[in-house]
Structure 1
Amino acid sequence: MPSLRTHCIVAILAGLIAAPTLAQDKPIRVLVGYPAGGTSDIVPRLIAERVKDRLGQTMVVENRVGAAGQIAAQQVKAAPADGSVLLFTPFAATVIAKFTYPKLAYDPDKDFVPVSFAGHTPIALAVGPQLGVGSLRDFSGWAKANAAKASYGSPAAGSAPHFLGLLFAREAGIELVHAAYRGSPPAVNDTAAGHIAATVTVLSDLLAPHKAGRIKVLAVASEGRSALAPDLPTFRELGYGNVVGTTIYGYHAPAGTPAAVVARLSEAINAAVRAPDLASRFADMGFDPVGDGAEAYGRLLAAESAKWGPIIKASGFTASD
């Protein structure tokens, strides 16, 4: 007959095993700091549809737009550390913000734990048809001849596309005035309408309007030609070897979330990212899915901080700009 001591040990162990489980009585909320229609919004919605089958509970995506993704990040920081609220974001809010906001309302390295590296998409530059330019060289010449009109939009001030645009301008010896938008769609629309000369943003947000003829992508900031658009040249092959950049997307949980919960979420999300039926959807968007775990994602974020920190500091930009 089991002793009282044995019963106590079993009860304690059962409690420890059960403690980190996800709450089944409420959906998992995924906060996104960008508006509907862009990669930051569409990708987590596609993933959410498939996570339900693996976790047995609903995943709901909610947009909390503003401050270059920081509003969503702040809300996740303040959320319960139980896996019920996650942040899906490009690395603007978790890497770049560290170098651009002296009074950032959260510490990206201490207030969150990485959950999953969902994937990435290279950054690209596109112009509107009204410019009449067909190449990056043509655009550089146009910008020199039309300095008062030479502008470019990005999804947000302090985003990777913002700084990649500055990097290109420096390398090309031209001046480009930056216009910050609330996400890619309005920047693309203004480029197509001729309100601004160009847009620098993730390739995934440019492919559809490029194929439709509304805008023209001139160069992609990947190491080599993107498998998503192999007909598009890279900045590097056009003579701008330092203009290389990709936007990383991933999931984060509030600091203190139990490791077992993070592991379960990571496994379910990564399996959804790699779902065969999503491959073509992601390809059409220009999104390269990865589905890496928490540890690998953490190492990647550290490497990106080491890369972008010096570039941002050299630009002299701060959030007050």
Structure 2
Amino acid sequence: MNTTRRRLLGAAAALTATPAFTPASAQGWAPTRPIRFVVPFAAGGATDVVARVLAERMGERLGQPVVVENRAGSGGNIGVENVVRAPADGSVILMGTTGTLTINQHLYPSMGFDPAKDLAPISMAFATDHVLIVNPNVPAHTAQQFLAWLRANPGKASFGSAGAGSSTHMVAELFRAAAGVEVTHVPYRGSAPALNDTVAGNVQFMLDQLPSAIGQIQGERVRALATTGPKRTSQLPNVPTMAEIGLPKAEATSWGAVMAPHGTPAPAIARLNAVLKEALADPKIQERLTAAGADAVSSSPEELQRKIAQEIETWGAVVRDARITVN
């Protein structure tokens, strides 16, 4: 995965160029009714947490409520398809993720839509580390102890995820391969129910996104053993990284981006991009995202389009190499 990691962070060829979006064009559009902000996962997960922080500020700036709507299922495909089929007039947007925008098409050959073609990029929104958490009943207080326990009990431990092919599944597969352990995957309809079952002990561990897990970690309902980013997070300064525990190939980050249906007018894309950039540059918003375990990240539509194109290719290779399938 070292090569894959470098490719994820490097430059890549762009898809067909999109029209330029300028501040001037942004001034020519304003919503005339509330905007639906679709989150393709259950409420309470990392994607949902960030979407709700941004929706509040966007509504203030746009003069219309931005209402978060959770539409979970099929690894996020149900929510994405809802946006793909929605009117392309700026009234519906999506909080897309690494999984829904770049991985699912390699797992679901009959989705009936193509995220790269049927959605229009607006802006990046956030990036976040994942964190290895275990139920407190697991007999391990450090990552090294946990690895030793897994290796001594092959096939007995299970981990939860937001669904087959989700980022919480993919990152856990990287961990499994890097650690050389045998564990069982248990998919859920979103990261929140998977986290709940980790807390309950129905699964032993999870590699959840930090925003959704941080509350349970701080409440000592789960134990954090390692994070997946390139450096320690300020939220958990005493928790080592995967590289620090000897698993550099398990390093990974997830991200979220705001999208609209393909064909959404350029002035609407430009206005939404400008509002998002303003929100993500606000120290108060950044503080709220940091408190939730996420880093604010904005981009132009063109930059986001290039990123999506790159990661479609990269994660496709990961899916094939790991032979990941969905039922």
Q: TM-score normalized by structure 1?
A: 0.89
Residue 245 (structure 1) aligns with: 252
Per-residue deviation, residues 65-104 of structure 1 (Å, max 9, x unmatched):
1111111110111111111111112221111102111112
Question: C-alpha displacement at 1:149, in angstroms?
Answer: 2.5
1:150-171 CA distance string (max 9 Å, x none):
1111111111221221221122
- Deviations along 1:213-233, one digit per CA (max 9) or x if unpaired, are 111111111122223333221
Q: Counterpart of 1:181 in structure 2: which amino acid?
A: Y
- Partner amino acid, structure 1, of 2:230: E
Secondary structure (helix, strand or coil) at the match of 2:186 reads strand
Preserved CA contact (<8 Å) 1:149 1:196 = no
Structure 2 distance, partners of 1:280, 1:18, is 27
Residue pairs, 1:132-281, within 5 angstroms: 132-281=139-288
Q: Which amino acid aligns with 1:140?
A: L
Q: Give the match's secondary structure for 1:158.
A: coil
The equivalent residue for 1:42 is 49
Deviations 1:177-216 (A, max 9, x none): 0011122222222112211110112112121111111111
Could you tell me which residue of structure 1 aligns to residue 29 of structure 2? 21
Q: Residue type matched to 2:178 in 1?
A: E
- Paired with 2:271 and 2:83, the residues of 1 have a C-alpha distance of 19
Secondary structure of the corresponding residue to residue 88 of structure 1: strand
Deviation at 1:31?
0.8
Residue 6 of structure 1 corresponds to none
% of aligned pairs identical? 37
Provide the rounded CA distance (Å) in 2 between the counterparts of 1:95 and 1:151: 26
Q: Which amino acid aligns with 2:270?
A: A
User: Structure 2 residue aligned with 1:131, among 135, 138, 145?
Assistant: 138
* Corresponding residue of 2:102: 95
Contact 1:76 / 1:86 at 8 angstroms: preserved in 2? Answer: yes
Query: Take 2:326 and 2:47, find their aligned partners in 1: how far apart are those partners?
Result: 22
2:12 — aligned with what?
Answer: none
User: How many corresponding residue pairs?
Assistant: 303
Structure 1's 69 and 141: CA in aligned 2 closer, same or farther, altered over 3 A? same
Work out the CA distance in 2 between the residues paired with 1:260 and 1:61: 22
Tell me which amino acid in the other structure corresponds to 2:38: L
1:291 offset after TM fit, Å? 2.2
Match of 1:315 in 2: 322
Once the two structures are TM-superposed, the CA of residue 36 in structure 1 deviates from its matched residue by 1.2
**Counterpart for residue 82 of structure 1:** 89
**TM-score when scaled to structure 2?**
0.88
Q: Report the Cα distance in structure 1 between the residues aligned to 2:83 and 2:325, rounded to whole angstroms.
A: 24
Distance in 2, matches of 1:80 and 1:266, equals 18
Q: Specify the code of the residue in structure 2 equivalent to 1:214.
A: R
User: How far did 1:19 drift?
Assistant: 12
After superposition, give the CA deviation of every residue in 1:80-130 in whole Å (9 maximum; x if it has no partner). Answer: 111111111222111110211111221011000111101111122110110
Aligned to 2:249, the other structure's residue is in SS state: coil
The code of the aligned residue for 2:299 comes to D
Aligned partners of 2:244 and 2:145: how far apart in 1?
15
Where 2:93 maps in the other structure, the secondary structure is strand
Cα pair 2:26 2:267 within 8 Å, conserved: no
Tell me if 1:53 matches 2:73. Answer: no
- In structure 1, what is the Cα distance between the partners aligned to 2:31 and 2:226? 46
SS in 1 for 2:101: helix
Measure, in 2, the Cα distance between the counterparts of 1:52 and 1:164: 33
Alignment check: 8 A CA contact 2:128 2:253 kept = yes
Please say if residues 64 and 71 of structure 1, whose CA atoms lie closer than 8 Å, have aligned partners that are also in contact. yes
SS at match of 1:178: strand
| Matched-pair contact (CA < 8 Å) for 1:69–1:93 | yes
Deviation at 1:132, TM superposition (A): 2.1
C-alpha RMSD of the superposition? 1.8
Contact kept in structure 2, 1:22 and 1:82, CA below 8 Å: no
2: CA distance between counterparts of 1:218 and 1:19? Answer: 48
Which secondary structure does the structure 1 equivalent of 2:115 belong to?
Answer: coil
Q: Does 1:302 align with 2:301?
A: no
Instruction: Identify unmatched segments of 5+ residues in structure 1.
Output: 1-16
1:14 is matched with none
1 or 2 for the larger relative contact order (CA 8 Å, sep ≥6)?
2
CA–CA separation in structure 2 for the residues paired with 1:207 and 1:18 = 36
Instruction: Please list every run of at least 4 consecutive aligned residues from structure 1 whose deviation after the TM superposition is greater than 6 angstroms.
Output: 17-20
Q: Aligned partner of 2:99: which letter?
A: A
Are residues 23 and 189 of structure 1, via their aligned partners in 2, closer, same or farther at CA, if it must alter by over 3 Å?
A: closer
Contact 1:151 1:177 in 2 (8 A): yes
Query: Structure 2: where are the runs of 5+ without partners?
Result: 1-24
